[in-house]
């Protein structure tokens, strides 16, 4: 036993470098089909959940004089065998590592070993493709990450605006009522003023006024802020009554509405800043359109014109068999393939949103499969409804045997909604006449002193249900303008039934400024007071224009004409006739009081810009 141990110790005492045993060459392992740069795994998976074996890194030849742990143990076992002669090279396989024998420390022998290893081929380092691990090449989609970053910044800005609104409203109301003195009498008011910003944030969060689906465009955000404000006022009133707090109703009805109004104003200003940023091409969603060529062209033109929606079209996928040449006109889109290539198009275009337009080739099953493929990279899927210009407020999804049915309600043109609009129009017109009274007098004097003729221009227009009325405007043309219309008709720059000339020679010098800032239309407030017009509505047409209307265009006469409308805030005279009709019909089909308020606010911006006014 002692002799055996000594032999083992002698072998282990030799100066050796231990390396991992070289594994036999295995066949290459390739990743499953479909995994790669254009087809990421789900977001919640990573290398640790991979079932694909890691690539085997080839080993380089051992250094001079080196052995392996397997060789050492093999030598130890061989040495301990009784009556065993020294091992020879004939007894070992061809690809075995060199032997390390007892007492062989001759330098010449080591050089021979080095030369032997340098001449042997490295069989384990054969060239073969290594299996790629099951990981996302880019992690979270790059475009999606960019969009989420600026959306998070926008939401944080909204929270800051609401904090400022609540703090300012509470401090201003407390300061106006009590000054800077804090006593036991006004302690409850002090506490309410301090907690007002926190309460405001809480009710707005409950009202989902910070959810991104309701932000950026539309009136849903403001409606939720107003709803939350009403809930806050009701909650404070109930708590004050239940706990018998000494809070004056006047203070509550001053501080809380002030906070809500301030929040709406700040949110509106922040949205306008976002729209200005989007007009420069920033904070945009990168969109791939899926549909027929005509639908893609129409949607592209609309989104490029209305950039405040934040949708930048970067490519399209068309039906099979279409080459895509000429899509979008001179500013053509890149066509990335057919409907089967949407996932690859998203990757190539670095898009974060896919918009599926109405297309018979894409049924529910195809859209569902597309949603599954886009879900891996968290790409948003938007399906455009075939119901053109029908607002979401008129649609309700009702399930029927597992199938979602879209119920479309009738337009709000009758009953209580009409009474609300009538009251809003007349009260608003009366208030605006009182506000702009001095301006009206100044404009009247300017018209009277710069050209001969009456101050007001009266013209017959067509109102609701085809009734005729006389519209009032400040005269901006010479008195013989109607007589000269025939000789200038060949200079018409507008399509359809309208007659517009950018540099109309019939317009007076003062009239050009009046038209530029829409001051010539202020006397129409009298028509609103008389019930002939509305503050917001379709453009009031001439009888000759109505005579040329198609049947569907006559739908514009279902409501009163307005001083302003979607046509005015969207470009006015710069719009083609078909687009002006579409906007007017959209307003008729989707009227709400909140829509009127939004159009009135946008009118102020349109008047300052003077776009399309001539």
What would the DSSP string read from start to end of 198-251? HHHHHHHHHTTTT-GGGSSSSSHHHHHHHHHHHHHHHHHHHHHHHTT----HHH
Q: Which residues contact 264 (CB under 8 A, 6 or more apart)?
A: 222, 225, 226
Beta bridge partners of residue 353, listed in sequence order = 287, 380
pLDDT at 506: 85
Of 219 and 491, the one with more pLDDT: 219
How many CA atoms lie less than 13 Å away from 422 in the CB half-sphere?
10
323: confidence class by pLDDT, cuts 50, 70, 90? low
Domains of the chain: 2-125 (no CATH), 142-279 (no CATH), 285-384 (3.40.50.1980), 416-609 (no CATH)
pLDDT at 124: 44
Rg of the chain in Å (alpha carbons): 39
DSSP state of 67: -
Find where tokens 């009366």 sit: 430
pLDDT of 202 over the 90 cut: yes
Which percentage of the chain shows pLDDT scores above 70? 70
Report the side by side order of strands in the sheet with 380-383: 311-317, 285-290, 353-356, 380-383
Find where tokens 């307003």 sit: 587
**Contact (Cβ atoms closer than 8 angstroms) between residue 210 and residue 155:** yes
Of 573, 472, 476, nearest to 532 by C-alpha is 472
pLDDT at 100: 47
pLDDT at 103: 46
Average pLDDT over residues 204-229: 91
pLDDT of 70 over the 70 cut: no
Q: CA angle, 242 as apex, 239 and 245 as ends, to 5°? A: 75
Polymer length in residues for the chain: 614
Least confident among 233-237, 297-301, 431-435, 482-486? 482-486
271-302 exposure pattern, b = at least 16 Cβ within 10 A, e = fewer: beebbebbeeeebbbbbbbbbbbebbbebbee
Average pLDDT over residues 33-56: 44
pLDDT at 141: 58
Kind plus residue range of the DSSP H or E element containing 290? strand 285-290
pLDDT at 471: 96
pLDDT of 68 over the 70 cut: no
Strand 285-290 and strand 311-317: the pairing is parallel
Least confident among 328-337, 415-424, 546-555? 328-337
Structure tokens at 15: 């100066």
**Contact (Cβ atoms closer than 8 angstroms) between residue 548 and residue 520:** no
Least confident among 23-37, 123-137, 279-293? 123-137
Kind plus residue range of the DSSP H or E element containing 121? none
pLDDT at 440: 94
Average pLDDT over residues 239-252: 76
pLDDT at 495: 62
Structure tokens at 546: 């109505």
Global pTM reads 0.62
Q: Which residues contact 350 (CB under 8 A, 6 or more apart)?
A: 142, 143, 286, 314
pLDDT of 113 over the 70 cut: no
Of 202, 180, 200, nearest to 190 by C-alpha is 180
150-159: long-range contacts (C-beta < 8 A, 24 or more apart)? 150/283, 151/212, 154/215, 154/216, 154/270, 154/274, 154/283, 155/210, 155/212, 155/215, 157/270, 158/209, 158/210, 158/215, 158/267, 158/270, 159/201, 159/210
pLDDT at 417: 79
611: confidence class by pLDDT, cuts 50, 70, 90? low
Average pLDDT over residues 99-111: 51
pLDDT of 268 over the 70 cut: yes
User: How many angstroms separate the Cα of 115 from the Cα of each of 62, 64, 291, 446, 507?
Assistant: 12, 9, 69, 108, 102
Would you list the DSSP string of 295-344? HHHHHHHHHHH-GGG-EEEEEEE--TT---TTTTGGGPPPB--SGGGHHH
Strand 403-408 and strand 395-400: the pairing is antiparallel
Q: Return mean pLDDT, the chain.
A: 76
pLDDT at 505: 80
- How do residues 533-558 score in pLDDT, each as one tens digit? 999 999 899 998 899 888 888 989 99
Structure tokens at 381: 């899927």
pLDDT at 358: 81
Report how far residue 345's alpha carbon sits from residue 354's, in angstroms, rounded to the nearest whole number: 10
**Contact (Cβ atoms closer than 8 angstroms) between residue 538 and residue 562:** yes
Which residues in 423-522 belong to E strands, given as ranges? 456-462, 468-474
**Contact (Cβ atoms closer than 8 angstroms) between residue 347 and residue 314:** no
Q: How far is CA 465 from the centre of its chain?
A: 40
Phi, psi of 213 (to 5 degrees): -70, -20
pLDDT at 398: 75
- How do residues 361-384 score in pLDDT, each as one tens digit? 887 788 888 888 888 878 899 988
pLDDT at 60: 43
């Amino acid at each position: 036993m002692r002799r055996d141990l000594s032999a083992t110790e002698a072998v282990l005492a030799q100066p050796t470098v231990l390396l991992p045993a070289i594994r036999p060459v295995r066949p290459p392992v390739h990743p499953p089909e479909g995994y790669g740069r254009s087809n990421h795994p789900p977001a919640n998976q990573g290398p640790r959940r991979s079932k694909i074996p890691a690539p085997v890194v080839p080993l380089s030849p051992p250094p001079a004089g080196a052995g392996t742990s397997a060789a050492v143990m093999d030598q130890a076992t061989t040495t301990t065998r009784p009556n065993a002669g020294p091992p020879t090279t004939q007894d070992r396989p061809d690809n075995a590592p060199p032997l390390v024998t007892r007492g062989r420390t001759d330098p010449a022998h080591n050089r021979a070993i080095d030369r032997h290893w340098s001449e042997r081929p490295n069989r384990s380092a054969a060239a073969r493709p290594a299996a790629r691990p099951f990981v996302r090449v880019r992690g979270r989609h790059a475009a999606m990450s960019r969009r989420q970053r600026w959306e998070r910044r926008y939401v944080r800005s909204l929270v800051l605006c609401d904090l400022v609104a609540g703090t300012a409203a509470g401090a201003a109301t407390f300061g106006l009522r009590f000054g800077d003195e804090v006593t036991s009498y006004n302690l409850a008011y002090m506490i309410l003023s301090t907690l007002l910003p926190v309460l405001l944030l809480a009710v707005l969060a409950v009202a989902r006024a910070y959810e991104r689906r309701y932000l950026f465009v539309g009136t849903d955000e403001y409606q939720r802020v107003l709803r939350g404000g009403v809930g806050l006022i009701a909650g404070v009133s109930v708590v004050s009554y239940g706990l018998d707090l000494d809070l004056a109703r006047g203070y509550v009805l001053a501080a809380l509405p002030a906070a809500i109004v301030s929040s709406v104003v700040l949110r509106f200003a922040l949205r306008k800043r976002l729209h200005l940023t989007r007009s420069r091409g920033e904070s945009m969603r990168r969109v791939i359109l899926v549909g027929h060529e005509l639908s893609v062209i129409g949607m592209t033109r609309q989104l490029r014109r209305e950039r405040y929606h934040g949708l930048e079209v970067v490519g399209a996928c068309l039906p099979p068999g279409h080459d895509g040449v000429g899509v979008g006109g001179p500013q053509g889109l890149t066509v990335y393939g057919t409907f089967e290539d949407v996932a690859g198009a998203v990757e190539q275009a670095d898009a974060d949103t896919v918009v599926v337009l109405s297309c018979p080739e894409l049924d529910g099953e195809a859209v569902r499969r597309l949603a599954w493929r886009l879900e891996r990279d968290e790409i948003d899927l938007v399906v455009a409804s075939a119901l053109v210009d029908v607002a979401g407020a008129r649609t309700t999804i009702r399930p029927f045997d597992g199938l979602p049915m879209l119920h479309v309600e009738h337009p709000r043109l009758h009953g209580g909604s009409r009474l609300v609009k009538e009251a809003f129009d007349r009260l608003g017109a009366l208030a605006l006449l009182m506000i702009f009274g001095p301006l009206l007098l100044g404009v009247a004097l300017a018209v009277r002193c710069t050209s001969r003729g009456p101050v007001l221009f009266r013209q017959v227009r067509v109102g609701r249900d085809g009734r005729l009325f006389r519209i009032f405007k400040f005269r901006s043309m010479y008195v013989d303008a109607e007589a000269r219309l025939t000789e200038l008709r060949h200079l018409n720059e507008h399509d359809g039934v309208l007659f517009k000339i950018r540099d109309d020679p019939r317009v007076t010098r003062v009239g050009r400024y009046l038209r530029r800032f829409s001051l010539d239309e202020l006397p129409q407030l009298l028509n609103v007071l008389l019930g002939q017009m509305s503050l917001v509505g379709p453009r009031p047409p001439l009888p000759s224009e109505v005579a040329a209307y198609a049947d569907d265009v006559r739908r514009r006469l279902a409501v009163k004409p307005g001083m302003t409308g979607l046509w005015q805030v969207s470009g006015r005279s710069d719009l083609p006739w078909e687009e002006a009709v579409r906007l007017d019909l959209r307003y008729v089909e989707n009227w709400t009081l909140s829509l009127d308020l939004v159009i009135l606010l946008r009118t102020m911006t349109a008047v300052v810009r003077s776009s399309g006014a001539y």
